[in-house]
Structure 1
Amino acid sequence: MRYWIALSLCLPLFGLELSLQSGKEEGEKFSILHLRHTAPFVCQATNNEFGETRRVDCRFSTAPKQSLSPIDNGLLSVSASSTPKGYTITIIPKSKMMLVPEMFDLSKESQTYQSDVKKARHWNVVGYTKTLPLMNLSTPSALSINFPVKVQKNVPPYVGGLDLKGNPIKIRRVQDVTDYMEMKKAYAANDYHKVIDRAKNTLQEYPNTVFKNELILYQIRSYHQLGEYEKLLELSKKFLREYSADTSVAEVLAYTANAYSKIGQILDADYFFDRLFDEQIDSPFAAQGMIFKAEQSESSGDLKKAMMFYQKALASTSDMAVASKAAFKLAQLEMLEGNTKKSAEYIDKIATVNPNYFSEVYDHAMEIADAFVNRKDPKTAARITEALLNNTDKKLDKHQLLLKNLGMQLAKAGKRNEALKRFNEYLETYKYGEFVEEIRRAKDGLFFEEGDNNTTKEIKKYNDLIERYGNDSVGRKALYKKAQLLLKEKKYKEILDIESDLYRLDSAEYPETNAIISKSAIGLEKVHLKEGKCTEAMKLQKMYKIKLLPEWDEALFNCALKTTQYENAKKIAQRHLKSKSIQERQVWLLRMVKTQFGLGDYKGAIKGGNELITLLAAEKNPPLNDIYRTMFDAAQRVGDGEGMIRHIKSIEASYPNAFKDIERYTQMVSLGLKRKDEALTQTYARKVMVLQERTKTYTQSPYIEFTLAESYQNLGKDGDALKVLRALNARKMTNEKRSRQQYLIGAIEQKLGNKRQAREAFNASIKADQNSAWGKLAKDALALF
């Protein structure tokens, strides 16, 4: 039995209508509050920890002119308040409550479905005691489908798409779309066999489908994942032949090269690697190809070449997965070569940026962690193990092995407190674990190692003694002990902060005082050098006249250069110029040249650069080819045109199509103008234009186009000049430059006898900037018509 009592409140000025209805169902009272507005608004429910709605807030951007009086009908309590952001109506239940939006107008729409919306024009708030009235709700299954409910009564007529003659358009079946989407889902789920089957079936059923290239591509990807290289090659040849302009060509080239490599056809593999690196070097898959190439070299035993390609991949990619793989492989190879420190640097990069990668290569990660422990670097081993532990479920057996290993590695690294924390964690988590006895012995051993005092407590104790006894014997000894402990803990800055107090100590009574200060200054400078804090490092260098071992020369040189202390940098470089190692001399010669260039000693830079170029001819060192850029710049500074020409060719050979050199190419254009060498001018002007177009960066426009056009005109190539000038139509320019461009176009058109085009160009020049010299020239030109 149901009965209704309706109470309505309208606020027409606000565009809001409230309607409160009450009734009974099966003897249980309920109320329904309707909130309607002319514009969609937000109603937000606040639930308690049991999922019950305890409050609903409906917010409006403006407040009504008449206020809403509180309403309370025993089931719902309605109140309103103004806020700085608008107007809020709040509904509080006396028992239970549910918020329901109304999104569909059944007089206009033929289908409804369950919709989770944030805004609506009509909201219902149902207040009840125990059972939700008028409807039964059930929790939807995660696998269920939200079918729309069709409302057939009074459905308005519908006509589909019509052609230009008013006839219905026949729509083709779209099963190939469905198959394509299912194939992509299968690939995302790593079901590669299903991907291949679905792609083959779709191509057989719909040979002319628009997804043909994608269907072939996904098969290639799946065969790559499955390691079925022969089948991959059958499809990749077809793809590269039929879809040579597809955006996925780089990816297919990488997989093709790898497939040939895996089946032992190295010449074919190298052909496709060369294509990938020459044609698609800017693609992310170029770096992936470098990984494949490195693996090929590694398999053939050429570890040096493998490392080179891994390093190239690491330097060129922004893909975290590719970078992580390259860094890990480099870490393995450096460890194999005995370079533990270099290997640790790569491991630290992975641990910092993508620690989860270690779990992807779990077995290899465990092996290299053991190798670090054996090489007396438990700290790096702990970084690997901690990353593996953080990504391992506690329910897995390997979790307790990782936890045990981490504790042992931290203990060997001297991190007693961290090791103790891990040992306790193991004993609490695995009371009857496999390694309990081993952990207990290791934990007990921590307390018998040297330096087992708590540093923080020891420092606090010394500070208390210094404060209490001041400058008497006890205070002085506490200060000295504190300095020794701080030095042991490598807290160099804290020692230098109390330097003046330490100098007041009697050197006969405390003979190591000066050594503590000196070691602290050296230690802090090394820290600054490692962290790249060059200003601080060079300040300490000067203040304490520190002399570091030659192994720090590179860092000192870089900091001297960075802080423009070129004289210091020059002194450091000079110490290495007579090295017996050609490679070392090459590196330091380059640094010396850069220093001389920074000092403005361009002739000295050129002399040193020529010596380095001679050494590079005897022993190649591609990373040092940057010397050609410095030599070019130095030649340009001293006006040596021949030198500029000689070095720009070396730059082109070492760094083909590098946008970094665009200004140098522009300088070659200027040299061509100065020498009235049209060939030189045109060669490098065109290079600049190609680079700009490839990168969509037009830093040298419109100067370069004006110059090239003028050069063409000097040789009577008016058509070429006109083409270059018209290319500027797509560029943004100042009004004065636009006026110049249009005037030049008009002048050429006039010369060619094209009066109408000339007149149009001159008018455009005047329109662009009538007050410029070019606009005025255009006016004069028009007067001649």
Structure 2
Amino acid sequence: MRHWIALCLCFPLFALELSIQTGKEEGATFSILHLQNAFPFTCDATNDEFGETRRIDCRIPQATKQTFSPINNAQFSITGVSSPQGYSITILPKAKMKLIPLAFDLSKETETFQGNIRKAKHWSVVGYTQTLPLIVMNPTPESGINFPINIKKDMRPIVGGLDLKGNPIKITRVQDVTDYMEMKKAYEAKRYDRVLDLSTNALKNYPKTVFKNELLLYQIRALHHEENSEKLIEIAKQFLRDYSSDPSVAEVLAYIADAYGKIGQSVDADYFFDRLFDEQADSPFASLGMLYKAEQLEGSGEIKNAVELYKKALETSKDVAVASEAAFKLAQIELNNGNTKKAAQYVDKIASANPNYFKDVRDNSMAMAETFFEKNDPKTAARISESLLNATDKKSPDYEVNLKALGFALAKANNKLEALKRFNEYLDTYKYGQYIEDVRRAKDSLFFDDGDKNTTKEIKKYDELIERYGNDSVGKKALYKKAQLLFKEQKYQAILDMESYLYRLESTEYPETNSMISKSAIGLEKARLKEGKCVEAMAFQKMYKIRLLPEWDEYIFNCELKTTQYAAAKKIAQSHLKSKSIAERQIWLSRMVKTQFGLGEYKEAIKGGEELITLLDVEKNPSLNDIYRTMFDAAQRVSDDEGMIRHIKSVEGAYPNDFKDIERYTQMVSLGLKRKDEGMVQTYGRKVSALQERTKTYTQSPYIEFTLAQSYQNLGKDSAALSVLKTLDKQKLDTEKRARQQYLIGAIEQKLGHKREARDAFNASIKANKNSAWGKLAKDALGLM
């Protein structure tokens, strides 16, 4: 199938006229150049060794001062030069071309013949890709007679060029052609306002112009670039309605779908996207449409679907620009998702196939390079910066920025020689540049020497660098190196002493900083735990939020118990209660009970203690017998008298005559008083007295002696009561308690008939504290005697 578009370019140089016609045959585009003059002129074709025409030179003998601008289209490159000898036209092909003389005017002559024509008033040049369109050129046989052909009987009307619908083209004026050509130049120069003005005027002045479809198409393109979506939609609908078979339908479908998406009408956008993907699947604009659709999905938060379309566009597009944009979008998404490695793969595709694309999206490319740099992928950052640098004019301000960025990226990637080359280029080119100090420092630190392996000397050297360079790049690196050395030497406290300075270092450039600080804190915490310095250890744990391995749970538990952090201790104990080892479960159950007791969860402590006692019956572990004490204490807290009685016996069995239990025995005395159980009072009263006498520690006196003596008296054991009270003679008592002791002795002596001893005791009571109740009772007793 053939499509025709006639482009007539007329130049009033002398009598010369140039015109170009373009069309398609079997999907292949071709062009026909017509050169016509009032007088015959010569055109010579220069062929290569394969018979292909590689150059055509035409010479018009008339000289002129006028000329025309070079003409370029898909098939030709045409230039003209004026000289005193005449006017020369040179035609070079983009692919293939054929020179054909038109020596006969079939509208006037009835005979034609084939001859070796050197001059003609009309020459045609056919430009094509593979196969010569429209005609078949048969080789002339070496022998034969060249008869003229009489076509008088076969004369047909001459209709000239045909339009897309097969109708004759009538060109009465050529201003629409001029406007059309100017519009194309404006579009190539990205002067989209000018494109719209020229196309609008041409359509208004020449409503039946043969270029109407092209004028509308360029309007749509210009509106697309200016993002005037509503106007684009209006014109695109007209184009699709009037030119449904136009080769540019796929392009228009892509732009109108994108426009609908940008004004938020996603349903209409999807309709045109579906048409594009279904009806124009083989068009390169289908891949472009995938980009537009993916951008809309990304904007609405459907990232996963957007990624799939970007990938499809990348895989299917034969247009390197579309593929580059798809890869760039994918790189941005992967970077945002933290997939730096995957993002770098897409950047490598662009850098390898179309590095100039980065300049087309300069700002985003620079931001992406910076992100890669920050995410510790300086090699990819360098690839982007280098591509930008190579595509930037050295006089542009961007060149300085990209040169600096490339040097820094290369330095961070440890490509020292290339980094040095870029730094030197910057310092030579921009002696007063914006980044001169940064570049100079970066160069100074580029070959940072590790120096002497003597630790003391190294640290001294780093200190000198820190003092000299302070908080700039060299000083920071020296600080970092010093910390690394101290960490290697396990000098954790020294690292923590410089912690505030280390935290000022950028984590991307100095990635081990936080790790060294936290590991130093962990090292110190372990040391403090082993040393039993619980307050310091717990402070480290809280400050640095340290979590040690389970093997340190015992140390941490003991310190948390010691510092009364029962809730934290309980949490550690709980994590070990399901151990398969009975022995381990026993240990952690015992610890759990202690934390529950410390938290006041006495009932839970009793429940856990009963479970532990059951386990101890299965597998003895004397080191855990302390559970009986805890069980007794918990029972006392919840007023469980029976529990106290039951567990005190276990305490006595596990820890006979242990002074640690003196208060528990005293509590049993109080329980005996409560229950009016003289046997219980006397049993545990004697235990308390014995423990005090043995250790010469009288923490429960005189309460225990007074209580025990009263119990003896209750049973008529006055002598025993007297003996108990007299044991207080050697103890230091306050005056009131001494007055009480002496009064009680006097009362028992009087009861036993020992009047003198009674009188002495009463006098001693009065002497101890005559104003106390006991002293007054003693005075009354003496009066009765």
TM-score norm. by structure 2 comes to 0.41
Structure (1 or 2) with the larger CA radius of gyration: 2
Q: Which has the higher contact order (CA 8 A, sep 6+)?
A: 2
